[in-house]
Chains A and B, each alone.
Chain A
Amino acid sequence: MASSKLPWLNPAIAVGGLSPLLLLAVQGAQGQLGANGIEFALNQTGLLALAVLVASLACTPLRLVTGWTWPARIRRTLGLLAFTYTAAHFLTYAVLDQGLDARAMAEDVFTRPFITVGFTALLLLVPLAVTSTNTWVRRLGFPAWQRLHRLAYVAAVLGVVHFVWRVKKDVTEPVLYGAVLALLFAVRVGEALRKRRALARERPA
């Protein structure tokens, strides 16, 4: 059946995923983001970066639990979308918030743990975005590529820490993302253990 290819799926994720960013840019240009528009843009891009990154990490666990194959097809699109929001978040900080003041930004990155972890998460996502193509999967070989892309989990954990340290007092929302992340990780660990046991059973005594 032709629909098994789901040709509409990835374009839909990309267009739908980018539309809040586009809306934010348009509203920002028109000065419609409220009293502190830059803070608003920072909060929005940061939150959506983390949300989409967590969604990309949910693909494999969702496939393992449900047996559906479509989540695996949108993983790359979600990953690149998460990188796009992360980059937008950083650019909002660097250009609009800090006015490209290199000294102030260096001080932030090196002396403020809250910024250090956020910046590290961005750096970790760069090689993942670069090696997201099929060519790179072949070039690295699938096992090595897979190992490299586990960095996405590290980036997401750093994203949650960045979020926790960002809020003044109420950590409910960042903790919620942390809990989802822990659940996804638990599914992956469970699957790895199940595989290992299955392998051990197959091995002759």
Chain B
Amino acid sequence: MRDKLPPEPPGSEVTPEKLYVRRREFLKNAGLFAGTAAVVGGGLYLLGMKRTRPMDGFVPDAGAVDQPVVPAQGLFSTDEPRTPYEDVTTYNNFYELGLDKNDPARRAHLLKTRPWTVVIDGEVHKPWTVDVDQLISAFPLEERVYRMRCVEAWSMVIPWLGLPLGKLLDRVQPTSFAKYVAFTTLEDPEQLPGQKSPVLDWPYVEGLRLDEARHPLTLLATGLYGKQLPAQNGAPLRLVVPWKYGFKGIKSIVRITLTREQPPTTWNLANKREYGFYANVNPAVDHPRWSQATERRIGEGSRRPTLPFNGYADAVAGLYSGMDLKRDF
């Protein structure tokens, strides 16, 4: 015979069958619990992910500007803290590159901003079709630190680079018939995939009255924070009208046409009741669905009061004397 088998454990040490079965049951239930919780939590998380996501450590690339810059001062600057570059370049409304705020930054690479031709025509004595770099180098580059107030009730402070639109208009010499300036964004659904969906009428168009366009505050921006304009901010050429809601600041402009009649504007076409031609920042005229009395400055916790003409009333209110701004909003 071989060695004896080890002694059987005493009955007191044997796990009762009931408990042994319960342990397996417990492990099975724990597994099902964890699996279901993960599926439910993960599912809800992904559902929410579809909406505006913060972008971690995203650094958009923007080229240096090799032109002397006239620094901003007086009316053209502000002491208010500037909105961080990362926020300015990742929180954008540019539906041609997507509807969520950070879609434009994600898809910026799709838009080829060079070479780029700009056509200036219509009621002008000297129509001009020009390469954008040639256009930019034809004028002194100016820095402008402006507040920007979006119609959605948030705001930023942005140090732009660009050329006053008035200087460009002086060069092309508007005729005496010119009363308005119409702007058009590039139309190319391959580069601007948002144009494949009919959420707005494409291409995006905007317009100003000639006196608004010639106002010294009105800027054709070509850069921000001392660098070239990133595509998501409307490169290579975008309009900045600091006393108007942000949607007036048409991006990626290919055509500037002087007209006799008031030109159509995209958001006004989309919803006449909610978005007027003038779109001057006005805390006294609410958006039909939300208040315009206050705004959230990006990076700040509590809301701050919105100022008439976005704080530029002294400089621009005269443009609208005699007008009913509640009617012509």
Contact = CB atoms under 8 A, between A and B. Distances in A.
Interface residues of B, number: 52
A23 B40 contact: no
Interface in B270-322: 270-271, 289-291, 293-294, 296, 298-299, 301-303
A43 interface: yes
A169 B270 contact: yes
A2 to B, nearest CB: 6
Interface stretch (B48-56, B205-213, B226-234, B254-262): B48-56
Given A12-B37, A19-B37, A112-B291, A36 B154 contact: yes
Interface string B26-41: 0011101111111111
A143 interface: no
Interface in A1-47: 2-3, 7-9, 11-13, 15-17, 19-20, 23, 32-40, 43-44, 47
A33 B54 contact: yes
B152 interface: yes
A97 B270 CA distance: 28
Given A104-B291, A104-B294, A168-B152, A35 B90 contact: yes
Given A8-B29, A15-B37, A17-B40, A36 B199 contact: no
B200 interface: yes
Given A8-B32, A107-B291, A16 B52 contact: no
Given A11-B33, A47-B51, A52-B44, A36 B303 contact: no
B244 to A, nearest CB: 17
B199 A169 contact: yes
B54 A16 contact: no
Contacts of A114: 289-290
Contacts of B30: 8
A96 B152 CA distance: 17
A90 interface: no
Given A11-B33, A12-B33, A34 B152 contact: no
Q: Is the interface of A mostly helix, strand, loop or mixed?
A: helix
B285 to A, nearest CB: 14
Given A36-B101, A43-B51, A168-B152, A20 B45 contact: yes
Contacts of A112: 289-291
B54 A40 contact: yes
A2 B44 contact: no
Given A12-B32, A39-B154, A98 B303 contact: yes
Interface of A: 2-3, 7-9, 11-13, 15-17, 19-20, 23, 32-40, 43-44, 47-48, 51-52, 96-99, 104, 107-108, 112-114, 165-166, 168-170, 173
- Chain A to chain B: the 5 pairs with minimum beta-carbon distance, closest first: A34-B54, A16-B40, A35-B91, A12-B36, A8-B33
Interface of B: 25, 28-30, 32-42, 44-45, 47-48, 50-56, 86-87, 90-91, 95, 99, 101-102, 152, 154, 197, 199-200, 270-271, 289-291, 293-294, 296, 298-299, 301-303
14 contacts: A3-B29, A8-B32, A9-B36, A12-B35, A16-B37, A17-B44, A20-B44, A34-B52, A34-B102, A35-B101, A36-B91, A40-B52, A113-B289, A169-B199
